[in-house]
Structure 1
Amino acid sequence: MDHFLPLLSLGLKRRSKDFFVLFYSIVFPMIVILLLGYLSSKSYGNVLSSYHYYAIVTVPFCSLMAVSTVSYATQDEKMANTSLRFLTAPITKVELILSKLFSCAIVLSLCNVVTLGAAKLLFQMDFKGNFFNIIILLTAETFMVSGIGVYLGLAFKNLNAVRNFLNLPLCIFGFLGGAFFPIGSLNPIFAGIINTSPLTWVNRGIVSSIYDNNAQILWTVTIIFVLIGVIFTGLTILFFKKEAFK
């Protein structure tokens, strides 16, 4: 693992200067929160205002959408025509994969901290001592997203087809999870469909920890996200070959 830290440093520099990462992880969520919060300001009460609601649901949704960004970030060398250097360099595929995974996860997690912190100050949100716990949950989500994104970026040759396929289920997950407006049903079938969205459980965990002082869902979802991220990272290490990195 002698080359892991230099590769990680390179990845962090690239991701921290990536316009799409910074825009869609910080600027775009804040625009959505301000816009939807303003449009629905009369539909919420004093305990949970519209701005508070959309701050809670928008950040996890944008974190999930970052899977497409991560999948493209794994192909920096292909786009810059420098992949042959990585093929000939004495870099193991584990070092290559983990450096991409952690560089994306770290930068996306920091973006979440900035966005949620800005929302806290701007909308005077009271997390009731759960801000750090929520950040851990969002960090676990970005780790999972990075694991899936790295797997898709390195395991699939036709990344455009994969990205087009991803957009639909991600938007459906966002709709079912209440990212656009609150959604629920007493119908057991539709309620079961709503529960298939990971964002449903993320948002429930956050709301439950803040307003019910119950962090059980939050920590359960956090552990599941970490396990999913580890599984996809293991699959990437298992199936990826440096020879295909060109």
Structure 2
Amino acid sequence: MNFIKIIKFDFINIVRNPTLIIANTIVPIIIIGVMGFVTKGSYNASTVDSYDYYGVTMMIFTAIMLAMTATNTFMEEKVKKGNTRIIYAPVSKTTIYFSKLLATYILGTICFSIIMLLGQYLMHINFGGKNILYIMLLINALSFLGCCLGTMFCSIFKNEQLANSIMQIPILIFILLGGSFFPVEGLGKAIAKISVISPIKWITECAFRIIYDKDFSIFIPTICVILVFSIVCIIICHITFEPEEYV
């Protein structure tokens, strides 16, 4: 089977699932609106208001949570049944898991890019102004990591529910240390130092530097860190995934 055809097949399966589409389009907008409204008086509007802060951090949160979409794309029961013929087709095991990873990533890239463009130009959320492309690249890089994480946990645990349950633990730690819901510096210097292990912390720090300081000094290092995390996940996928266990 042609690799592109398999990706197209997997992408169509995602698009046909309204729950996944809503989770990656409407839900992020609602979360940004709710968090921005609830914390409206907690930020200095002359520098960064609550909608600006949560516009960025909730997009980062949504990007890493794309891991949940990846597990559904990979091992949801209906999807597995429909993909049985691919398992027995003369294709490499890399094609099987990587096509689903890329299909999920393409969906995330489309959804999150549209949300950010609408957010900046219609809702007046500050995603960097003319530098919005850099923020979109950061979000898309994190989306790719999210897809890699979801695929890796499915490859290891061979079950969507189990993979999601265990995967939530490291993702929750990354989110808390990354400052998605509140600045991590408020938890003390020790936690602030530990937070450097979180890829979300790197993305958040880099995004706010670009948006408010026009500082691109850690942009390339941040992208490289995210790619290293992603490559490690893909290597683990390749080692642990066995096509016969997918059926």
TM-score by length of 1: 0.90
Query: How big is each residue's C-alpha offset from its partner over 1:120-173, in whole Å with a ceiling of 9 and x where there is no partner?
Result: 123313413211111111111111111221122233224323322222332333
The answer for the alignment partner of 1:103 in structure 2 is 103
Separation in 2 of the partners of 1:186 and 1:41? 21
1:63 aligns with 2:76: no
The answer for the alignment partner of 2:156 in structure 1 is 155
Shift of 1:81: 2.2
Q: Is the deviation greater in 208-217 or in 186-195?
A: 186-195
1:241 aligns with 2:214: no
Q: Secondary structure of 2:103's partner?
A: helix
Question: Structure 1 pair 35/154, CA: closer, same or farther in 2 (3 Å)?
Answer: same
Separation in 1 of the partners of 2:140 and 2:106? 8
Amino acid at match of 2:103: S
The answer for the alignment partner of 1:229 in structure 2 is 230
Q: Secondary structure of 2:90's partner?
A: coil
The answer for the alignment partner of 2:32 in structure 1 is 33
TM-score by length of 2: 0.89
Separation in 1 of the partners of 2:58 and 2:5? 34
Question: Structure 1 pair 48/188, CA: closer, same or farther in 2 (3 Å)?
Answer: closer
The answer for the alignment partner of 1:146 in structure 2 is 147
Separation in 2 of the partners of 1:143 and 1:59? 14
Does the Cα contact within 8 Å between 1:4 and 1:99 map onto a contact in 2? yes
Amino acid at match of 2:29: M
Separation in 1 of the partners of 2:80 and 2:95? 20
Shift of 1:79: 4.6
Q: CA RMSD in A?
A: 2.1
Question: Structure 1 pair 92/76, CA: closer, same or farther in 2 (3 Å)?
Answer: farther
The answer for unaligned runs of 5 or more in structure 2 is none
Separation in 1 of the partners of 2:166 and 2:95? 29
- Between the two proteins, the alignment pairs up a number of residues equal to 245
Shift of 1:19: 2.2
Separation in 2 of the partners of 1:88 and 1:185? 53
User: Where in structure 2 are the equivalents of 1:163-202 lying within 5 Å?
Assistant: 163-185=164-186, 187-202=188-203
Separation in 2 of the partners of 1:157 and 1:96? 14
Separation in 2 of the partners of 1:186 and 1:87? 48
Shift of 1:184: 0.9
Shift of 1:46: 2.3
The answer for the alignment partner of 2:116 in structure 1 is 116
The answer for the alignment partner of 1:73 in structure 2 is 73
Does the Cα contact within 8 Å between 1:75 and 1:154 map onto a contact in 2? no
1:10 aligns with 2:9: yes
Amino acid at match of 1:180: F
Q: Secondary structure of 1:184's partner?
A: helix
Separation in 1 of the partners of 2:78 and 2:17? 16
The answer for the alignment partner of 2:41 in structure 1 is 42
The answer for the alignment partner of 1:90 in structure 2 is 90
Instruction: Give % identity.
Output: 23
The answer for the alignment partner of 2:53 in structure 1 is 53
Does the Cα contact within 8 Å between 2:36 and 2:50 map onto a contact in 1? yes
Does the Cα contact within 8 Å between 1:101 and 1:146 map onto a contact in 2? yes
Shift of 1:91: 2.2
Shift of 1:22: 1.9
Q: Is the deviation greater in 209-218 or in 179-188?
A: 179-188
Question: Structure 1 pair 168/240, CA: closer, same or farther in 2 (3 Å)?
Answer: closer
Does the Cα contact within 8 Å between 1:93 and 1:241 map onto a contact in 2? yes
